[in-house]
Amino acid sequence: MNITLRQLKVFETVAQRLSFTQAAKELFLTQPAVSMQVKQLEEQLGVPLFEQLGKRVFLTKAGQEVYDYSRAINQQLAEMETVLNRLKGVTGGKLNISVASTANYFIPTLLAVFNRRYSNIEISLDVTNRETLLQHLSKNTADLVIMGQPPTELDVEAGAFMDNPLVIVAPPDHPLATQKHIPLKWLQDEVFLVREQGSGTRIAMERFFNEKGIHIKTGMEVGSNEAIKQSVQAGLGFGLLSRDTLEQELSLKRLAILDVAEFPIMRHWYVVHRRGKRLPPVAQAFKKFVLQEAGNLLRSGRANKEQQNKKGGLRRPEQK
């Protein structure tokens, strides 16, 4: 056999996406170029690697075997690059990080500070849902993952770096918005908007209310935090959200956090990777930065904004 690493890379991308079109976009190639690489690989191996049924592409049995070997080869090459980069120190390299959609409210701040320290690095950021984060961890396709609850079904290393309080939000004009120490049982009369199945926030909400023996009514299933906030503002129900996502809505008084007994649900943010993974120097540096500095950096930034908002509020009457 005379196969090339390029052919394996192209094949692996097609196998991951099960789409020649998507693979071409990801690799910045034309679709005919991708098809040609796969065809040449099939000719070298003497077996078909894909089959097309209707408009869908599937791996053949041989294709699945080649995919497994291809992943192992590319991971070995990545580990070799990691070892060599470690010997050279953090003077460049690429940080491949995947974060939960909720973390996108603060992760740009952390990346901006980190990038100022290591200006020669390249950052690849994937903001996605919990299911995709778990796939990244399972397939070892991201250096680091930022998420709210590390998986118990995978062998991972996880370090907590900041509190992640979950709060109940309602429209500011809702009767409960002005109440203090709201009993949990009162929530049984309200409708809750929920994230998709498998969402970390939804899992935490369902676990909490089940443990307390509270049966809540669920309304729409909503696919993003922004959609939940908009729906709550429209009066379609209550929402359970990370307090880190609410800065703008609270300052503009578009939403209100309810003062509910036993709330907030206190969780944490974690930086996670597969146990035993050889992190590139840039990923090691970012992990250290997050664990040692992220919490204080974000808390101080939040405190400064709150202070500025207060000062701004005092000046507004004078500007009229």
Identify the structural domains of the chain with CATH numbers, from first to last. Answer: 5-83 (1.10.10.10), 92-162+269-308 (3.40.190.10), 164-266 (3.40.190.10)
Q: Which pLDDT belongs to residue 317?
A: 40
Using CA atoms of 144, 148, 149, 154 in order, give the dihedral in degrees to the nearest 10: -20
Q: What is the amino acid identity at position 121?
A: I
How do residues 161-202 score in pLDDT, each as one tens digit?
A: 998 999 999 999 999 999 999 999 999 989 999 888 878 888
Q: Is it the case that residue 15 has pLDDT exceeding 80? A: yes
**Helix 5-17 crosses helix 61-88 at what angle (to 10 degrees)?**
120
Q: CA–CA separation, 179 vs 191, rounded Å?
A: 18
Calculate the average pLDDT of the chain: 87
Return d(Cα 287, Cα 96) in angstroms, integer.
12
pLDDT at 255: 95
Residues forming beta bridges with residue 97, ordered by sequence position: 125, 144
Reported as a pLDDT band with limits 50, 70 and 90, residue 254 is very high
- What phi and psi values does residue 119 have, to the nearest 5 degrees? -70, -15
Phi, psi of 285 (to 5 degrees): -65, -40
Q: How far is residue 117's CA from residue 264's CA, in Å, rounded to a whole number?
A: 35
* Residue 257 identity (one-letter amino acid): I
Query: If you count them, how many residues does the chain have?
Result: 320
Q: What is the Cα Rg of the chain in Å? A: 24
- Examine the pLDDT at 47 and tell me if it is beyond 90: yes
β-strand 56-59 against 265-274: which pairing, if any?
A: unpaired
Close Cβ partners of 186 (under 8 Å, ≥ 6 residues apart): 176
